[in-house]
Amino acid sequence: MANFPVINMGKLNGEERAATMGQIKDACENWGFFEVLNHGIPHEFLNTVERLTKDHYKKCMEQRFKELVAIEALEGLQAEVTDMDWESTFHLRHLPQSNIAEVPDLSDEYRKVMKEFALKLEKLAEELLDLLCENLGLEKGYLKKAFCGAKGPTFGTKVANYPPCPTPDKIKGLRAHTDAGGIILLLQDAQVSGLQLLNDGEWVDVPPMRHSIVINLGDQLEVITNGKYKSVEHRVIAQTDGARMSIASFYNPGSDAVIYPAPALLEKEAADEKKKLYPKFVFEDYMKLYAALKFQAKEPRFEAMKARETTAPIATA
């Protein structure tokens, strides 16, 4: 099996640009995941994000997780648990409106740093979307525009910690799923592994790499590219040793954005009449469906949106 794709974005500015763009294209078409280095976010800043996140977990969340484990009787499991995950999480919203000021228990320094981190990730997400546009032959800015509802895109962060688990064979850190949204940017623990993706029927480890950002594609990019790029199932395996930090930021369409295959890509596919057309839908409607079916296969979700489209066609702005 080929190695997990690692992209050096520093090479996009020199003679190796074409080869690097080729690596990104291959990663999008065959993996749905890749890791980026030299992405423009300073290493020292990422160290601060990691330090503050781990401090916050220790001070504010570790005890709560232990209490939850006791309440749910998750210690010493005998049978497999399929309706819960071994994770401790909180969520931040950045766009269209930030909620960082309202989230309890965050220190002033942590709030400030996470707000700045969100701005840096937003810029990186839009840069990556334009690189995808270039590879797809779409005009620059097409994907960003496709994600824009009346108030622009939706952008938020899930901060997760996966504590040591005594029975990793009985419960997942996070059950297998694809991501519903657009493009996902992950700062993961550099020491403790656990994230895996499904590639050619095999679970492959996403290697921990200090100061890298892991990128994966969500369901909406699969729809917009009419299946040229695909969202990929992934999961987190609980570990017996070490707590794993995960900060995943989701650059998604606005809730009222209408998502559908890019016409320019469909024109290129016109010769292949058997190519199946993905549905057109309002992103918020897809998310309502996803909320109930997150840990199930994505194909029935697409089929359900297709059926809904047939009964109630959606106008394109």
Amino acid identity at 243: A
- DSSP code for 212: -
> Nearest CA to 206 among 183, 177, 237, 178?
237
Cis peptide before 42 (omega within 30 of 0): no
Tens digit of pLDDT for each residue in 267-282? 877 655 556 899 999 9
- Please tell me the total count of domains within the chain: 1
Among 178, 237, 176, 164, CA closest to 205: 237
Q: Which CATH number characterizes residue 125's domain? A: 2.60.120.330
**What integer pLDDT is reported at residue 266 of this predicted model?**
93
pLDDT score at 272: 59
CA distances for 30 relative to 53, 99, 294, angstroms: 33, 36, 22
State residue 68's pLDDT score. 84
The two three-digit tokens of residue 262, written as one number: 């890019």
Phi, psi of 71 (to 5 degrees): -60, -45
The reported pLDDT for the residue numbered 197 is: 97
DSSP-assigned letters across all residues of 231-256: ---EEE---SSSPEEEEEEEEE--TT
pLDDT under 50 in the chain at which residues?
none
Query: Is 262 inside any structural domain?
Result: yes
In a domain, 317, yes or no: no
Residue 269 is predicted with a pLDDT of 74
Residue 106 within any structural domain of the chain: yes
Distance CA 260, CA 275 (A): 15
Containing structural domain, residue 273: 6-311
Is 254 a domain residue? Answer: yes
The answer to whether residue 316 sits within a structural domain is no
